[in-house]
Each structure stands twice: as structure tokens, then as C-alpha cells.
Amino acid sequence: MPKINFQNMGAGLNLDGFPNELAPSEWSGGQNIRFRDGYAEKSQGEVRVHGDLLAAPYGLFPTQGIAGRYWVYAGLQTLSAVENDTHTDITRAAGLYTGTVDNRWNGGVLSGVLVVNNGKDVPQFWGGNPAVKAADLTAWPPTLRAKVIRPFRNFLFALNLTDNGAQRPYALRWSHPADPGTLPVSWDIADPTKDAGEFDLADTSDVIVDAVPLGQALIVYKENSIWQMDYVGSPYIWSAKPVVSGVGLLAQDCVVPHPGGHIVLTQGDVVNFDGSTAQSVADGRVRRWLFDNLNADMYQRSFAVGNYRRNEAWICVPRTGSDWPDTALIFNWKDATWAIRDLAQASAGASGTIVYDLGNSWDADPDPWDTDDTSWNQYEYTQASPRLMLASAVSQRLVLVDTGKTFQGTAMVSRFEKTGMSFDAPERIKYCKSVRPRIEAQSGTTIDIYVGAQEDLENAVEWSGPVPFVVGQDLSADIEVSGRYLSVRFESSGIVSWRMKQFDIDVTVLGGY
């Protein structure tokens, strides 16, 4: 076996399987990588946007205002709106908010009006005028609190209630329907002239966590079950039925809608819920790794967000030792691949439209002149294209992801590795002479190549290298390594972009035990 060719290396990560049993096109490890169109490629970077914030952001909401597009970010005690680099404090005139770091902000846009909620204070609304402060939601019962508020159709839904101090975690209430451009005029469930209503989803003992639309239905996620709400009109207005039992939601904001349903981070898996069934998309690939590495004390700070221009669901979680999500496991629902990326202590994320001023202008471009292959003052998106924005309360900043080649100006390490390769002869000693990658990148880009060996899969890989491979100059990287199980790693640490679809390993079988 003088040369072994590995083709179509875009099948993604498999962190759960035994490395020696992976498909030839799967990778056993990596960092800051993604897979699409049959390629393995370095992740794009991120750039800080919107300048200095008025407060540490714990919630993030895109909305349309009277003067353009805004992002509203929620602090523990304040609300702020930003357009380009202009920040406005829109905190209610009645006083500061009282939530803590674990009172998750939630909400959405109803008929052009942003409604947000932290579970501790009266829900807030903001009409998009920076000269007008946010205010308590009109017609809201003064003694009622909801852990979650979500808009759907022309209703607002309040979930997991506390009514006059009494906790009602199974309760769900909806408002009277709002006229276009307005807010609901009533939440009074006792008024027969209004369509407001309430019921408990108490058939199961798990509590309500969140709700997300799916087609013409509102899907209510409890901890270990999924329910469907349908509009039925008078006199009942809404009906509810259980759809799936034994599968629920890990925390608020852990659902990503996509064309095939919802990608859902559950209590022990990542599933695709299509409206009737929930099928794992992580089992046998990343599920065990995810929950083995999840910080069990901070799991409720996890969130999921869609990167729609890349057909990706980002599962953002705090790993052991981190208080905030520091890792995104990324599922591409088009190619059914898993990838992984570092996060900078993210506290919230959202997908929404941005303004042109945040594009690849001369001042905004984070990449050095010598390594920048983007066009000056050109944009890779339209003004209406949704982009993924992340917030960090730790660093008190907003970042636009999938932009440039760096982490906010700092070079990022990107690597792919495939370990435990026995070439169907685990009892034989293999000798590697060289590795020849097919890398697409700017001429002169340097990729470091390592080759490793193990005598037994229980032993750690002993790596040799790195040997620099210069794109446009080198044909192969000569690395001599022998062992029963071989490994290969491709890594970059510079400000570069690159992708790879195949590589060869020059291997000779030396003998048996």
C-alpha cells in the first residue's frame, strides 16, 4: 500500500466513535473548523462591532426601528439600542430592572413592536424610536410574572408563570389578539368579550421551558416532552396536545428553526423535531462528547442560534471550567455534518439583519493588509441578509461572526486530525514516509502537518512534526513515523484561509507483531 488516498474529507467530526472505526472521510478531532460542499475548511473569524456598549449584554434582539435596523441588548438593569455606533439607553422611566445573570432575557417582535422579558419584572416593549424609552407592557396583570414571553401570529404567549407570588411552572397564558402594529389590549382571562385564555400543561410533571413556532403551530417545549398548540377559534381559541414524550429542552433559547423543523438541544441529545417525531442528529457522532464536557453547574446558560447563510445550527455551551459558553458545536443541516469552534465567553446570540456600515470597509476590515484576500469596500451579503451576532457579558462587546480570518484581530488556531488509522491491518506495523495534501489557499500559505503513531489505541498519540507545507511551493511534507496505528493532523496558526478536500499518505506495511 504505497499511497493511501483520502477523498471527500467533508463528512465532518465524529468525536464519539472509536478512531479506528471511523469512515475514511470523517475526522476524529479538530478546532475552529467547518465542513461544507465536501470540503474541510478553516472557520471564518469574527470582528467586534457597534463600539463600546453601555452595559454588559445578557440578551440580544434585532428589530426594525423608525430610522432603520437596531440591535437591542439587555443588561441586568438596563435596556439599550444601537444603530451603527450610536447607543441609546432605552431603560424604562419607571426604574432599573431587577433580574440576575440567570434570569434569561427572552421575547421577540410582535407586529413591529419589540417585547422583552426577564422573568422578574413586568415585560417591556419598545416601538423602535430611540427618543422614547421602553415601558411596561400595556394591559399586563400587575401581579403576574412569566419566565418566558413569545409572540406568535398576533398573540403574545406567557409561559411558566408566577401569579401573585405563587409559582405555576406548568401554566401558559395567551393575550387577546393584537391589531397590526399594536400591542394586546387585554390579558384578562375572565373577560368573556376577550380571547385571552390560559391552561396548564400538567399531564406530565416536567415544567415549561420555552416555545417556538413551527409552521401554523406553536411548539411548547417542556423539560422532557414536546407539546403542540393550534389555533381553533372561539370559544377555546387555542388547543394543546402532547406530541413527543421523553424528549424536551435543556434551557431557554436552545432551539434553531430551519427548513426541516427545529434543531433542539435536549437534556441529553441534539435532535431534529419535524413536527411529529424527534430524531437524533448527534448520536454516535458528538452526543457523548457534548454531555461529557458540558459544565453541569452552568448548563442553563447554553443557547442555540442559527447561522442561516451557512445552513448551520450553533449549539453554544459552557465546557467544564467555563462559566459561559466557550464552545460551539455546529450542525450543518444541509450536509448533515458536525464542526466545532471556539467562543469568547458568549452570553447570548441572535440572527438578524445588520447595516452596511459594519461591512468590509477600510476601517472595519480586521485583517492585515499582507494577508487580506477580501475586496476593499465590498460586501459578501445584502443589507437584508441575516447574520449571526454574539454577545459577551464578560468582555462587554458584540461580535459579528463569519467575518475575516481572526478572532477580533488575534490569529486563530485551526486544526483537523484523524487518529487511529490501521488501514485494515491493526496487527501490522506501518511506516509513513510522507503526506501530500490538496489544499486550496493563497499561494504562500503555510499549513503545519504532523504525523503520529500508537502501538495501542489506549496509548496517547506520539506526534512528530510540525513540517511546514507551503501552498504553491511544496508537493508533500516528508515525515517518517512508524507504528501500528497512524495519525495525521493539519494545523494553521496564522492569519490565513484554507480548505482541503483530499490528501494522500505514503504508507508501507513492515510486518506483524
Average pLDDT for 402-416? 94
The mean-pLDDT minimum among 375-389, 391-405, 449-463, 492-506 falls in 375-389
Structural domain includes residue 454:
yes
Taking 90 as the threshold, does the pLDDT of residue 53 lie above it?
A: yes
Predicted pLDDT of residue 369: 47
With a cut of 90, say whether residue 511 has pLDDT above it: no
Element (H, E) at 293: helix 287-293
- Tell me what the mean pLDDT of segment 258-276 comes to: 98
| Residue 182, domain extent | 46-411
In the prediction, which pLDDT does 512 show?
Answer: 65
Which residue matches cell numbers 498519540?
Answer: 461
Q: Are residues 331 and 407 in the same domain?
A: yes
What is the pLDDT at residue 378?
47
Q: What does the pLDDT read at residue 478? A: 96
Q: What is the pLDDT of residues 279-297, one digit of tens each?
A: 999 999 999 999 999 999 9
C-alpha to C-alpha distance for 400 and 70, rounded to whole angstroms: 14
Last residue of a domain, one of 411, 429, 451: 411
Task: Give yes or no for a contact between 173 and 197, defined as CB atoms under 8 angstroms apart.
Answer: yes
Q: Which pLDDT belongs to residue 356?
A: 47
Last residue of a domain, one of 376, 411, 446: 411
In a domain, 496, yes or no: yes
Asked if residue 313 and residue 359 are part of one domain, the reply reads: yes
d(CA 293, CA 274): 28
Q: Is the pLDDT of residue 377 over 60?
A: no
CB 115 within 8 A of CB 109: yes
Decide if pLDDT at 32 tops 60.
Answer: yes
C-alpha cell at 95: 426604574
Mode of pairing for the β-strands spanning 135-136 and 429-441:
unpaired
Same domain, 245 and 274: yes
| Per-state percent for the chain, helix, strand, coil, to nearest 5 | 5, 50, 45
Q: Residue 370 has which C-alpha cell?
A: 499582507
pLDDT digits (tens, 9 = 90+) for 146-165: 999 999 999 999 999 999 99
b/e per residue 109-136 (b: at least 16 CB within 10 A) = bbeebbbbbbbebbbbbbbbebeebbee
Tens digits of residue pLDDT in 444-465: 999 999 999 999 999 999 999 9
Q: Is residue 39 part of a domain?
A: no
Q: Which residues pair with 96 in a beta bridge?
A: none
**Same structural domain for residues 369 and 459?**
no
Averaged over 32-38, what is the pLDDT? 94
Mean pLDDT along residues 12-41: 96
For residue 218, the surrounding DSSP H or E stretch is: strand 217-222
Q: In this predicted structure, what is the pLDDT of residue 368?
A: 53
Could you tell me if residue 157 is inside a domain?
A: yes
Question: Would strands 348-353 and 337-342 be described as parallel, antiparallel, or unpaired?
Answer: unpaired
Q: How many independent structural domains does the chain possess?
A: 2
The answer to whether 36 and 310 have CB atoms below 8 angstroms apart is yes
**What is the residue whose three cell numbers read 499511497?**
3
Residue 40 lies in a domain: no
Judge contact between 20 and 420, C-beta under 8 A: yes
Identify the pLDDT of residue 467: 98
Look at residue 359 and tell me whether its pLDDT is greater than 60.
no
Tell whether the torsion through CA atoms of 258, 261, 266 and 269 is positive or negative. negative
**Which H helix or E strand runs over 467?**
strand 462-470
- What CATH number has the domain bearing residue 325? 2.130.10.10
pLDDT in tens, 227-243: 999 999 999 999 999 99
Domain shared by 13 and 75, yes or no: no
User: Can you give the pLDDT at residue 513?
Assistant: 58
Question: What are all long-range contacts of 379-387, with beta carbons under 8 Å and residues at least 24 apart?
Answer: 381/309, 381/354, 383/353, 383/354, 383/355, 383/356, 384/353, 385/309, 385/353, 386/306, 386/308, 386/309, 386/351, 386/352, 386/353, 387/309, 387/351, 387/352, 387/353, 387/354
User: Which of 202-206, 255-259, 485-489 is the least confident region?
Assistant: 202-206
Residues 228 and 373 in one domain: yes
> Average pLDDT of the chain?
93
Reduce the DSSP state of residue 335 to 3 states and report it: coil
* Domain match, 428 and 392 both: no
pLDDT of residue 115: 98
Q: Is residue 123 part of a domain?
A: yes
Kindly state whether residues 258 and 116 are assigned to the same domain: yes
- Are 332 and 450 found together in one domain? no
pLDDT above 90 covers a percentage of the chain that reads 89
Residue 376 has pLDDT above 50, yes or no: no
**Whole-number pLDDT of residue 361:** 52
- CA–CA separation, 487 and 420 (whole Å): 6
201 & 300 share domain:
yes
| 491: CATH | 2.60.120
Q: Of 166, 1, 7, 134, whose CA–CA distance to 63 is shortest?
A: 134
pLDDT of 402 > 80? The answer is yes
Tell whether the torsion through CA atoms of 251, 163, 226 and 157 is positive or negative: negative
* 96-116 per-position pLDDT tens digit: 999 999 999 999 999 999 999
Q: In the predicted model, is pLDDT for residue 309 greater than 80? A: yes
- Three-state SS for 133-184 is CCEECCCCCCCEEEEEEEEECCEEEEEEEEECCEEEEEEEEECCCCCCCCCC
Nearest to 402 by CA among 369, 444, 358, 368: 358
Are 335 and 362 contained in the same domain? yes
pLDDT at 129 over 60: yes
**505 and 407, same structural domain?**
no
Please report where in the chains the cell 404567549 appears, as a residue. 157
Q: Are 437 and 39 in contact (CB under 8 A)?
A: no
| Residue 469 pLDDT > 80 | yes
8 Å CB contact between 461 and 453: yes
Q: Is residue 38 part of a domain?
A: no
| 37: in domain | no
Picking from 386, 411, 436, the residue at the C-terminal end of a domain is 411
